[in-house]
Structure 1
Amino acid sequence: MNTKGIDALIIAKWCHNGYGRTLKHALICSSLLKYGFKYYQSPFYPNIARFEVGAIMPLEAIAINDLTAPLIKKPARKNELAERLQALYDSDDSQPSGEEVLNIIKQGFKRGQYLYVGMFNDKPIAAVGCFDDGQTDSRRLQYLTVHPQNKGRAIDAKFIKLVYDAEVKKGVRQFVPVDRDIHQIMSDYELIRVKD
C-alpha cells in the first residue's frame, strides 16, 4: 500500500457494474478501515469514497534523550512530561507498566537511544522507543503506545510514519519492529526497508 495513504486524505474511485462495487474497492476499504480511517460516501458522487484519517491534526514526532526535555511549553509541574508518559503506558494493556518501560528507556538514554514522543496540543499522545542495536543503518522500534482517546483513529500509523521519516533523514535504511502493532503498520505500508 502507498504510504501517502496515511498522510492526510485518500480519494478512492471505483467503477460500478450491475452487481455493485468491485473487489478492488472492497479490499481498499477494508484495509483503510482497519487503521481507523473514517469513511464518507458522497450522495452526489456515488462512485467516489473519501477516507479521512484521524491524524489530520498537527501531530509531531519529537526524539528525546531525557525525560526532562522541555516538550511541554507550559508545564503545570516539574516532571509533567515523565508523569504523562508513565500514565500513557499504564493505560496500555499491550505494554509493560509505565514505570518499567520508562526505566528501560532511561537506561537506553545512557547508550544514546531515543524515545520518540507524539505531541499534540502541547500534550504527549503517543510514544515509541527507538534503539540502535549496533547493526549498520538499522533501528529497533519498540514500546509503541497511543493515548486511549486517540486509538482507532490511525494515530499510530501516522506517528510511525513520522518516526520513519525522521530516522530515514538520519541515514537509517532498515527497521526492526518488535511490537505486533508496529510490525503490522510497517509491513502494510512497506516501511521496514527503505527502497532505493
Structure 2
Amino acid sequence: MPLEAIAINDFNTQLMREFSYQGEFKARIHALYQDMALYQDVNNRLNKTADEVMAILSEIFANQQGSLYVGMFNDKPICAIACFIDKNSQGKCLEYLAMHAQNQNRGIEPQFIRQVVKAESAIGVHKLTSRNSDIQKLLEAVEN
C-alpha cells in the first residue's frame, strides 16, 4: 500500500483499521513528534516539544483553523505535518513536520509534501509557506 496523505481535524479520526488500545492513533502521532528534532530549525523560537505540538494541534482543531495531514503507510501513521491558516498571508502555513525515525532521510518527505500540496490545491489553496527552513526547502523543491 503506497503512502497516502490524509487530512484530519480530530485525533479520534479512524484512520487505522485495527487498534490495540483506545487512543492508539493519538499516541502514535505523539510518538512521531517525540522524534521531530531533525526538522527543527537551529536557534528557532518555533521549536516545540511533542506535548507542545499536540496542544497546538488540539487548539487548531478546536478553533477550526487548520488540519493535520497524516502520512499513512500499511495502516500506520509514519509522518505528519500541521497545515493551518496563515494570518500574515492569503494562504496556509505548514509547520511541525514529523517523520517516523526509520523513515527519515529515505525520500519520503518530498513525496509526502507533494501530496499535501496537491490536496490543498484541490480545495483552492495555492499559497503554502513555512517558517521552518527545512519545510520551506521541501516546498520549493516540490514547486519546481
User: What amino acid does structure 2 have at the position aligned with 1:82?
Assistant: K
| Residue among 172, 176, 183 paired with 2:129 | 176
Is the contact made by 2:8 and 2:69 (CA closer than 8 Å) also made in structure 1?
A: yes
User: What amino acid does structure 2 have at the position aligned with 1:121?
Assistant: N
User: SS at 2:52's partner residue?
Assistant: helix
Question: Hey, what does 2:107 align to over in structure 1?
Answer: 154
Q: How many residues in Structure 1 have an aligned counterpart in Structure 2?
A: 135
Deviation at 1:96, TM superposition (A): 2.2
User: What amino acid does structure 1 have at the position aligned with 2:109?
Assistant: D
Identity of aligned residues (%): 39
Is residue 96 from structure 1 mapped to residue 48 from structure 2 by the alignment?
yes
User: What amino acid does structure 1 have at the position aligned with 2:108?
Assistant: I
Is the contact made by 1:125 and 1:147 (CA closer than 8 Å) also made in structure 2?
A: yes
Cα distance per residue 1:137-167 (max 9 Å; x no partner): 5110000111110011111110000000000
TM norm structure 1? 0.65
Unaligned runs of 5+ in 2: 41-46
Is residue 145 from structure 1 mapped to residue 122 from structure 2 by the alignment?
no
Q: Which moved more, 1:171-180 or 1:142-151?
A: 171-180
Deviation at 1:134, TM superposition (A): 4.5
User: What amino acid does structure 1 have at the position aligned with 2:23?
Assistant: N
Question: Hey, what does 1:6 align to over in structure 2?
Answer: none
Is residue 87 from structure 1 mapped to residue 35 from structure 2 by the alignment?
no
Question: Hey, what does 1:163 align to over in structure 2?
Answer: 116
Deviation at 1:190, TM superposition (A): 2.2
TM norm structure 2? 0.87
What aligned pairs does 1:54-65 form with structure 2 within 5 A after superposition?
58-65=2-9
CA-based RMSD: 1.6
| Residue among 31, 44, 60 paired with 1:108 | 60
With a CA cutoff of 8 Å and minimum separation of 6, indicate the structure with the bigger relative contact order: 2
| Residue among 22, 33, 36 paired with 1:78 | 22
User: What amino acid does structure 1 have at the position aligned with 2:51?
Assistant: E
Question: Hey, what does 2:81 align to over in structure 1?
Answer: 128
Deviation at 1:188, TM superposition (A): 2.3
Is the contact made by 2:113 and 2:142 (CA closer than 8 Å) also made in structure 1?
A: no
What aligned pairs does 1:15-26 form with structure 2 within 5 A after superposition?
none
User: What amino acid does structure 2 have at the position aligned with 1:161?
Assistant: R
Question: Hey, what does 1:66 align to over in structure 2?
Answer: 10
User: SS at 1:172's partner residue?
Assistant: coil
Bigger radius of gyration among the two: 1
Is the contact made by 2:35 and 2:99 (CA closer than 8 Å) also made in structure 1?
A: no
The structure 1 segments of at least 4 consecutive aligned residues displaced by more than 3 Å after TM superposition are 134-137
